[in-house]
C-alpha cells in the first residue's frame, strides 16, 4: 500500500484518490489502475509518461545520463566485465562467483549449434534478402523446433529457453551473413569466447584459418555489452506484450527483432552509416543540418537524439573510445570517421540540437566500429538483435516470474458513431 495519494479532480464528480508509487530510484508514479472501474481511461500514445510494468533489471536516468544493470553502472561493466558475465547479471540479478560464471559460460558455449534442419530453412530465402528479415524468420522458426518441450509456466523450461536463445543467436546471426554472401555456414567453436566465436563464424572459411584479433574481439564484446538491455524500449515492450499472452519465447524474440528493425530504434546504426556515406564530405554537413532542422523535410540526423537520454548517452562515451581503439589497431584513417567527428562537433554546438538536447547516441559510433571490422551495413541491426536477446529474455523471464497479465491497452476512439449498414452489392 502506498503512503502518498494523488487526488484527481473531475468536473461535477467526487474526487478520485490515486496511490503514489515509489521505486528504488526514479520518478514517483501515479497508480491509475482503478480509473477503468471509475469509468475513465488515461491517454498516452507512445507511452511518454506511462510505466508499463514493474522491473528490477535496468535503470536509466536520462537527464543525468545514467544506465545501471542490476545497479551496476554501464561504463564499469563495459570496461571491467565481459558480455557473458553481464548476461548472467541481467538474468540472475547478482554478479556471479567464479564457479557460477564457469558453469554459466560452459552451458552457453555447449549449446551454440542449431538443429541441422535449420540449414535447409535458410535455403527458402533469397540470397539478397535483408539479414534482419532472415533473422526474424529463422528465430521465429526455432519455436517449431522447441515448442513441444516448452511450457512457459514451468520455471525450468523458461531457463532452458533462455540458454538456448543466448547460445544460438550468434550462430543464427552469422548464418544470416554467410548465406547472404554465398559462403558455407561455419560451425561454432567451443574454445573461443562468445565474441570471438561470433567473429570466427562470420569471417572464417574452410580454405583458410581465421585468427581472432584480440582488439576486435574486445570491441565486439563491448558492442554486445552496451546493447544488452535498455529497460522498456520499443522492442523489449514488444517482447513483453507478445509474451503476456503466454506465447512461445522464440516467437516472442522474433517479435522483438521485428520491432528493433525500424530506423527509429535498432535500425538507426545502419541508417546512420548510410547517412554518413551520403554526406560523404565535411563540406556537405551544413546542407544535411539544414535538412534536419527543416520541419517540411522528413530527414533526421540519424544517431542523434533519444527518447530517454536528454544528456549524453553513457554508452556513446565508451563506444567512442572503442571506435578510436579499433581504427588505431587496424591502421585505418577513415573518411567517414572524419565526417562523423565533424558532424558531432557541429551538432553539439548548434542551438537547434542544444535546445532539444539531441546528443549522439550509441548507434552513432557502433556503425563505424562494425564497418571498420569489415561487417556490412545490413548486418548492423542483426548484431544489435543478437546483443539485445539477453535483455529481451531477462524481461520475458521476469514477467513470467512475477505472474503474467495479458497486455491489453485501450484507445481514444475517434471513428464513426453507430450507423446503419446498407450494402451496395447485396440488396
Ligand atoms: N534530427 C533532427 N531533429 C531531431 C532528431 C534528429 N535525430 N531527433 C529529434 N529531433 C527533434 C524533433 O524534430 C523534435 O523537434 P520539435 O520539438 O521542434 O518538433 C524534437 O527534436 C523532439 O523529437 P521527438 O521526435 O519528439 O523525440 P522522441 O523522443 O519521440 O524521438 C528518437 C526519439 C530517437 C526517435 C529521435 O531522436 C530520432 O528519430 N533520432 C534519430 C534515430 C536514432 O538515432 N535512433 C536511435 C535511438 S538509440 C538506439 C535505441 O535505443 O534504440
Q: Answer whether 304 contacts ligand 1 (Cβ < 6 A).
A: yes
Q: Which of 69, 130, 227, 306 is catalytic?
A: 306
Residues 6+ apart with CB under 8 A from 25: 59, 61, 68
Residue 1 has pLDDT above 80, yes or no: no
* Ligand 1 center–CA 304 separation, angstroms: 7
Burial class of residue 92 (count of CB atoms within 10 Å of its CB; 0-12, 13-18, 19+):
middle
Which residue, by CA, sits nearest to atom 8 of ligand 1?
A: 305
Three-state SS at 19: strand
Give per-residue pLDDT as tens, 110-150: 999 999 999 999 999 999 999 999 999 999 999 998 766 78
- Of all atoms in ligand 1, which is nearest to the CA of residue 265? 52
How many of the other CB atoms lie within 10 Å of CB of 80? 9
Q: Are 134 and 125 in contact (CB under 8 A)?
A: yes
Q: What is the pTM of this model?
A: 0.90
Q: Which three cell numbers stand for residue 298?
A: 522528413
Q: Answer whether 356 contacts ligand 1 (Cβ < 6 A).
A: yes
| Model pLDDT, residue 149 | 72
Q: Are 364 and 344 in contact (CB under 8 A)?
A: yes
Give per-residue pLDDT as tens, 141-159: 999 987 667 899 999 999 9
Closest CA to 131 of 181, 167, 203, 183: 181
Greatest CA span in the chain, whole angstroms? 80
Confidence of residue 2 (pLDDT cuts 50, 70, 90): low
Active site residue 306: yes
Q: Answer whether 266 contacts ligand 1 (Cβ < 6 A).
A: yes
| Model pLDDT, residue 84 | 98
Q: How far apart are CA 93 and CA 76, in angstroms?
A: 16
Which residue, by CA, sits nearest to atom 26 of ligand 1?
A: 307
Cα separation values, 15 from 2, 3, 38, 221, Å: 18, 18, 11, 54
Give the helix ranges, DSSP H, for 182-307. 194-203, 214-226, 234-243, 249-260, 268-279, 285-293
Which residue, by CA, sits nearest to atom 12 of ligand 1?
A: 356
* Ligand 1 center–CA 264 separation, angstroms: 8
Q: How far apart are CA 34 and CA 110, in angstroms?
A: 48
Give per-residue pLDDT as tens, 381-426: 999 999 999 999 999 999 999 998 999 999 999 999 999 999 999 8
Residue 292 has pLDDT above 80, yes or no: yes
How many of the other CB atoms lie within 10 Å of CB of 54? 11
270, 300, 366, 381: which to mutate for ligand 1, most atoms within 8 A of CB?
A: 300
Which residue, by CA, sits nearest to atom 4 of ligand 1?
A: 300
Amino acid at each position: 500500500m502506498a503512503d502518498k495519494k494523488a487526488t484527481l479532480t473531475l468536473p461535477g464528480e467526487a474526487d478520485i484518490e490515486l496511490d503514489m508509487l515509489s521505486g528504488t530510484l526514479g520518478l514517483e508514479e501515479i497508480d491509475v489502475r482503478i480509473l477503468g472501474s471509475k469509468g475513465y481511461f488515461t491517454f498516452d500514445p507512445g507511452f511518454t509518461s506511462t510505466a508499463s510494468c514493474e522491473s528490477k533489471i535496468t535503470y536509466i536516468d536520462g537527464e543525468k545520463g545514467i544506465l545501471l544493470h542490476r545497479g551496476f553502472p554501464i561504463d564499469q561493466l563495459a570496461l571491467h566485465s565481459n558480455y557473458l558475465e553481464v548476461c548472467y547479471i541481467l538474468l540472475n540479478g547478482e554478479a556471479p562467483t567464479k564457479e557460477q560464471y564457469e558453469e554459466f559460460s560452459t552451458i552457453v558455449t555447449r549449446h551454440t549449434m542449431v538443429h541441422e534442419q535449420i540449414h535447409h530453412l535458410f535455403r527458402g530465402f533469397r540470397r539478397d534478402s535483408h539479414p534482419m528479415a532472415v533473422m526474424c524468420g529463422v528465430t521465429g522458426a526455432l519455436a517449431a523446433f522447441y515448442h513441444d518441450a516448452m511450457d512457459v509456466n514451468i520455471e525450468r523450461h523458461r531457463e532452458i529457453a533462455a540458454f538456448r536463445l543466448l547460445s544460438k543467436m550468434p550462430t543464427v546471426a552469422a548464418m544470416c551473413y554467410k548465406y547472404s554472401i554465398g559462403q558455407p555456414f561455419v560451425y561454432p567453436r567451443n574454445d573461443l569466447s562468445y565474441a570471438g566465436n561470433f567473429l570466427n563464424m562470420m569471417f572464417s572459411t574452410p580454405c583458410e584459418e581465421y585468427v581472432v584479433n584480440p582488439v576486435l574481439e574486445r570491441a565486439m564484446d563491448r558492442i554486445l555489452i552496451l546493447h544488452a538491455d535498455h529497460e522498456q524500449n520499443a522492442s523489449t515492450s514488444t517482447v513483453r506484450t507478445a509474451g503476456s499472452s503466454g506465447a512461445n519465447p522464440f516467437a516472442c524474440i522474433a517479435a522483438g527483432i521485428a520491432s528493433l528493425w525500424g530506423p527509429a530504434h535498432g535500425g538507426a546504426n545502419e541508417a546512420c552509416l548510410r547517412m554518413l556515406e551520403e554526406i560523404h564530405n565535411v563540406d556537405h554537413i551544413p546542407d544535411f543540418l539544414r535538412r534536419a532542422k527543416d520541419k517540411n523535410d522528413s530527414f533526421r540526423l540519424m544517431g542523434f537524439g533519444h527518447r530517454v537520454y536528454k544528456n549524453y548517452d553513457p554508452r556513446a562515451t565508451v563506444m567512442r573510445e572503442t571506435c578510436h581503439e579499433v581504427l588505431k589497431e587496424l591502421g585505418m584513417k577513415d573518411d567517414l570517421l572524419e565526417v562523423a567527428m565533424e558532424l558531432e562537433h557541429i551538432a553539439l554546438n548548434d542551438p537547434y540540437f542544444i535546445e532539444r538536447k539531441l546528443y549522439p547516441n550509441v548507434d552513432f559510433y557502433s556503425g563505424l566500429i562494425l564497418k571498420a571490422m569489415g561487417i556490412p551495413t545490413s548486418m548492423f541491426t542483426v548484431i544489435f538483435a543478437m546483443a539485445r536477446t539477453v535483455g529481451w529474455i531477462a524481461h520475458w523471464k521476469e514477467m513470467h516470474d512475477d505472474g503474467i497479465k495479458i497486455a491489453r491497452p485501450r484507445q481514444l476512439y475517434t471513428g464513426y458513431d453507430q450507423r446503419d449498414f446498407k450494402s451496395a452489392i447485396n440488396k
